[in-house]
Amino acid sequence: MPMLMSSGSALYFDTSFLYLVLPAFILSLAAQFYVRSVFKRYSAMASVQRIPAEQVARDLLDRNGCAEVRMETVAGDLTDHYDPRNRVLRLSQTTSGSSSVAAIGVAAHEAGHAIQHETGFLPNRIRSLVAPVAGIGSTFGPYLALFGILLSLPILTEIGILLFSAAVVFYFVTLPVEINASRRAITALSETGMLTPEEIPAARKVLRAAALTYVASALVSFMTLLRLILLSRGNRRR
């Protein structure tokens, strides 16, 4: 989604794109590269217990009242996610059967999201409420705002900015949700002994690297919103 937002704002190119959006976008790309690098490094580190990541996730779900959550294996690399609508935890092919420290950390993290859903974790509930409007705002908000600026239609600009603001809220609410899921994962892996004390720091590094991508996405969305507001104000002065 950040890539869509950035390309949308680029329809109207000026210096504000260079010093607001572009640096954040480059940081986002760097964060994605970094998380893949860290994941690859610790994917080569087999855990002592040799428990497949899929089994780790299943065990954590059952221990925390999420026995009804189904599990599926999906294609791709780092495509792991929890689907709250259908109550399905999906692990990528590279994660599911692996017993590496990286795979186990990711699987436990996704199980953490399912547990958040089960326990009604407040930031997670807020994110779910904002998600539908955020999806629309992320896709159409920047375009509506920029078309409003180009056509001198303030009402269209304001609607676009308002819609996109929902996407920004979504990204920032996502941060505590992701951080909490990682904390739950590390605590659970430590308490259950699925990872040894020596392996826990490696799993923590993987999840911290993943968290950086969400921080970068939030920054891109905020800078894009700020740019739209500045362009709107500049257009009104003219």
How many CB atoms are closer than 10 A to CB 190? 16
Retrieve residue 235's tokens.
């257009």
| Under 8 Å between Cβ of 166 and 221 | no
- Other Cβ atoms within 10 Å of 104 Cβ, number: 30
Q: Which residues contact 113 (CB under 8 A, 6 or more apart)?
A: 81, 82, 84, 89, 124, 177, 181
For the question of residue 110 being annotated catalytic, the response is yes
CB 174 within 8 A of CB 36: no
Helix (H, G, I), strand (E, B) or coil at 117: helix
Active-site pick, 54, 68, 72, 110: 110
CA angle in degrees (0–180, nearest 5) for 86-88-91: 145
Which residue has tokens 């997670």? 124
The distance from CA 207 to its chain's CA centroid, rounded to whole angstroms, is: 12
Tokens of 22: 């572009």
Distance CA(101)–CA(206), nearest Å, equals: 9
Active-site residue list: 110
